[in-house]
Amino acid sequence: MTTQTRRAAARPDESAATYLGRADRRALLRAGTGSIAMLAAGGLFGSRVAVAATLDSPAQVPVVDRLSVRVVTDSYHHAFEPSKAYGPVQVQRLGFAVAPRTPPQRTLQNEWGLALHLESARGSETRQVLIDFAYTSETLLNNMLLAGIDASKLDALALSHGHYDHFGGMVGFLKAHKGKLKAGLPFYLGSEECFCSRELNVPGEAGSFGALDRQAIQDAGLTVTFAEKPSLLADHGFTTGSIPRASFERVLAPTRMSVGVTGGLGCAPAGLPEAKRAITLAPDDFEHEQATAYHVKGRGLVVMTSCGHRGIVNSVRTAMKVSGIDKVHAVLGGFHLAPHTAEYQRQTLNELKAINPDVLIPMHCSGETFISMVQQDMGDKFIRSSTGTRFTFQA
């Protein structure tokens, strides 16, 4: 009998899914050395701070029988896009919310932001994860309702990086589900850098780009779970940890970040790399950004990037390296190619074609120029994303 089985057996009134969300499921840091322990001791998160279980060897990569990815929020929705199969990938579209003899009350909303709901299965065991929170809680909550997503069943939350179009809806989401989320629900973050205050640095659009609300996270009873290294995600998937710059890709800096905590908002210098602790304002390099991946039995890796600031090729190759798996089944998410030249986008597409995924599903910040390239060059390997769509990858 494993340690987890023994503990679960000691609580016969708890389901396995409930048990996964318990704070004592992870190693909470209440004292000791290291920057994360210092943050916990300093009271920035109360007592709920943890380090994710690291992925120390490819042998530890979980294998799932099925992974479904629902696009909860994106900037595009086509109500008449048909549901169909693209080879082994099942694509379920969400069109109009209508019922007999009842006028429509809601429709899917689109905005510049991203949120993904993941549901994985391994035998009879299932896990659900919400990655990112879109730009506004109004859009996030509306679309979750229409998609039939029950927040009380979530086994983990994850934030890809500290940009407002990915965490803006978080506070409203947590308030709307107060008391409904699993106790001690793990909230995966790349590093303390996610909390830094940011300014938008786009020509003609300068101004505050917000900061992640630490108090809202604490009030919701979440366990902040740092995943600076490749780490397991809710037992079924894994995160890449910090993504090295190992290709031609350039990291753009659409935001600047400030170091320090003011009024409870911002990032604590003690939690950052030593080289960044003394800076006041600096261009983002997105060392805290992480991608998420699952190994689907018999298919290979499904790699998800929310923005891909560190480079979509870098992100995919990092997932391949840490997992030891060369076969990529699908790449989906934001690729952050819209600001780049057509030549740069073409080079990116060529690199992705060399990786040879079975399907490519660009979203969010990928840009229409790149989407058109993929559609023309990759044929049936291209799948158009749409808000509300559910992609299912299975053995």
Given a cut of 60, whether residue 177 has pLDDT beyond it is yes
Residues contacting 6, CB < 8 A, separation 6+:
none
Average pLDDT over residues 288-317: 97
Show the CA angle centred on residue 384, arms to residues 378 and 390, nearest 5°: 125
Under DSSP, is residue 115 helix (H, G, I), strand (E, B) or coil?
strand
Least confident among 39-53, 192-206, 288-302, 309-323: 39-53
Other beta carbons within 10 angstroms of residue 324's beta carbon come to: 11
pLDDT of residue 204: 80
Other beta carbons within 10 angstroms of residue 64's beta carbon come to: 24
Other beta carbons within 10 angstroms of residue 60's beta carbon come to: 14
Q: Which residues of 16-33 are buried (b: 16+ CB within 10 A; e: fewer)?
A: ebbbbbbbebbebbeeee
Domain 16-96+111-394 falls in which CATH fold? Metallo-beta-lactamase; Chain A (3.60.15)
Q: Please, is 300 exposed, middle or buried when counting C-beta atoms within 10 Å of its C-beta (0-12, 13-18, 19+)?
A: buried
Least confident among 37-51, 89-103, 156-170, 302-316: 37-51
Given a cut of 50, whether residue 253 has pLDDT beyond it is yes
The helix (run of H) or strand (run of E) holding residue 368 is helix 368-378
**Whole-angstrom Cα distance, residue 172 to residue 274?**
34
Whether residue 237 contacts residue 60, with contact meaning beta carbons closer than 8 Å, is answered with no
**Whole-angstrom Cα distance, residue 40 to residue 28?**
9
Local confidence band at 34 (pLDDT 50, 70, 90 cut-offs) = low
pLDDT of residue 44: 64
pLDDT of residue 13: 35
The helix (run of H) or strand (run of E) holding residue 139 is helix 137-147
Residue for token digits 């009271």? Answer: 43
Q: Report strand pairing: 156-158 vs 186-189.
A: parallel
Given a cut of 90, whether residue 375 has pLDDT beyond it is yes
The answer to whether the Cα torsion of 81, 84, 87, 88 is positive or negative is positive
The helix (run of H) or strand (run of E) holding residue 223 is strand 223-226
Q: Give the chain's mean pLDDT.
A: 90
Local confidence band at 76 (pLDDT 50, 70, 90 cut-offs) = very high
pLDDT of residue 22: 39
Q: What is the pLDDT of residues 114-150, one digit of tens each?
A: 999 999 999 999 999 999 999 999 999 999 999 999 9
Given a cut of 50, whether residue 17 has pLDDT beyond it is no
pLDDT of residue 290: 97
Q: What is the pLDDT of residues 155-174, one digit of tens each?
A: 999 999 999 999 999 999 99
Q: What is the pLDDT of residues 206-239, one digit of tens each?
A: 899 999 999 999 999 999 999 999 999 999 999 9
Q: In what order do the strands lie in the sheet with 89-92?
A: 49-51, 223-226, 186-189, 156-158, 125-131, 115-122, 66-73, 390-394, 89-92, 84-86
Whether residue 86 contacts residue 147, with contact meaning beta carbons closer than 8 Å, is answered with no
Average pLDDT over residues 278-286: 92
Given a cut of 70, whether residue 46 has pLDDT beyond it is no
Local confidence band at 12 (pLDDT 50, 70, 90 cut-offs) = very low
Residues contacting 255, CB < 8 A, separation 6+:
163, 198, 199, 200, 201, 209, 283, 284
pLDDT of residue 284: 94
Q: What is the pLDDT of residues 81-104, one digit of tens each?
A: 999 999 999 999 999 999 899 999
**DSSP codes of every residue in 159-176:** -SSS-HHHHTTHHHHHHH
**DSSP codes of every residue in 308-347:** -TT-HHHHHHHHHHHHT---EEEEEEE---TTS-HHHHHH
Instruction: Tell me which DSSP letter residue 135 carries.
Output: S
Other beta carbons within 10 angstroms of residue 285's beta carbon come to: 15
Residues contacting 266, CB < 8 A, separation 6+:
195, 196, 197, 211, 258, 259, 260
The span from the first CA to the last CA of the chain, in angstroms, equals 28
pLDDT of residue 48: 85
